[in-house]
Amino acid sequence: MSFLLKFIDELAEEEDDELIEVLKNEYGHFLFLAMIFPRWKKPLASFGLVLFYLSTIVLHHAMLSYAVYLSLLEHNWEQVSFLTHLVILLSFAIFQPVNFNWVRRVVAHVHRTLAKDVGIYCSGRIYDDPVCIAFREKIRLEKKFYMTMSAFCLMMGGILWSGLYISKSFSDIEQSYSSSGLSLKLPLALYYPFPTDRGVLHYVILGSQLLVCLVIGFLYLICEVLLINLFLKIKYELQVIGYAIDSLVSRSINAVGVNENNPQKDVLVIEDTKLQRSVEKCLKETIVHYQKILGLLLIARANLDAPLAIVMMLGLLVIGISLLNMLAALKANYIGMFLTFGMLVCAEIQAQLLVCLLGSSITEQADILREKLYSIEWYCFDMKNRRILLNFQACFTKSFVVTAGGIAEINMVTFSWILRAAYRFFNLMRSTS
């Protein structure tokens, strides 16, 4: 017990008014409610949320696992696949809050850093330049696009749950329970030790299943929003660094002004020592800006490596198995099950696409930054600035990539590979059966 209290005190150390205000501005209270960043300085509210999630997610996880076992005994493979998919979703929903609280300090550090101006330049606040403002507006549009994708995935889950209940309510099911006691008139065929096919208990259990589905959707949506927000903020900072490289000479000249060694305002002269020192200062500020963002990227890659690998592998298996079930349902002329697994495939593909698009955007922006750095007017620099620039360019010998499991790159090539691998798995299982 003392270990638990000590651990909670360590978690509460990261909370301060500034950080809480930053998180509220970005996510409202949703990050706290999802237990991604709970308020451990208010332990009663946090423990109340813990009990709520234990009574919904963990309880239904056990019930779903038992239902999978009973379905295996009945040799109902379509139901086994569907319930197993839900068990996987619940397992990942349990894992995410635990994982984010384990790396709580990292989450706090990244949000604190990105909430302020990461790049500090002597020529003034670079984020107020029209070009950077245009970058920010473009990032907002991208954020709306990604949020729409997440909302679409959540909507697919809602349609799936509603469709299951409506199809079972209006279909002529002769038996309300399977041979193992699974309730067939509920959206999720689970085992209950009391009758659930009619009366008040039916609607109570129906409400509990709806609640757990809403909780799963909420947790996944918050995790996706967190991922979208952090990746797009880092992408924006990379765009600002690219603009800082493009405007390096002009900002250096404007900082010095016209003098006797440099009578032309827009020309960089090697002999102008004062101007070269201004270039050196602006170049070092750009390097410091990049090093800060690179540090955040390395932190993000280290902490997202394992979760992204799990997401990719589970997505591949879910798509392949769902295709098999769609084929079996089509052969049996079971349109309801065909549509169910079809929506599962669409939702899983959308989730994989979202992650791969985010990872690809970071890699693409890093490549653009490298091209800008290599095309800079280095021949106008003196020897000292050339050495600094050469050391900076040496950091870009390889493209920065977000990886899953330290092996697979998160980009559109990987997305294409996942779809091909899922289809090959589908063909392999179909041929063996």
The 10s digit of each residue's pLDDT in 86-115 is: 888 888 888 888 888 888 888 888 888 888
Nearest to 55 by CA among 43, 66, 47: 47
Q: Residue 146 and residue 358: Cα distance in Å, rounded?
A: 9
pLDDT category, 239, cuts 50, 70, 90? Answer: very high
Side chain identity at residue 125, one-letter code: R
- Residue range 325-351: average pLDDT? 81
HSE-CB at 50 with a 13 A cutoff on CA atoms is 12
Least confident range from 16-30, 125-139, 326-340, 360-374: namely 326-340
Please count the other Cβ atoms lying within 10 Å of the Cβ belonging to residue 408. Answer: 19
pLDDT band at 139 (very low <50, low <70, confident <90, very high): very high
Q: How far is CA 115 from CA 124, 302, 399, in A?
A: 18, 21, 26
Alpha-carbon torsion angle 30, 34, 40, 43, nearest 10: 100
Q: Give how far Cα 138 sits from Cα of 91, 111, 134, Å.
A: 36, 21, 6
The number of beta carbons lying within 10 Å of the beta carbon of residue 187 is: 20
The pLDDT assigned to 44 comes to 80
352 and 312 in contact (C-beta within 8 Å)? yes
Q: Please list, in sequence order, all residues whose beta carbon lies within 8 angstroms of the beta carbon of residue 298, skipping any fewer than 6 positions away.
A: none
Residue 191's φ and ψ, nearest 5 degrees, are -95, 130
Spell out the long-range contacts of 126-132 with Cβ–Cβ below 8 A and sequence spacing 24 or more.
Answer: 126/240, 126/243, 126/244, 127/240, 129/243, 129/247, 131/243, 131/247, 132/239, 132/240, 132/243
pLDDT at 146: 92
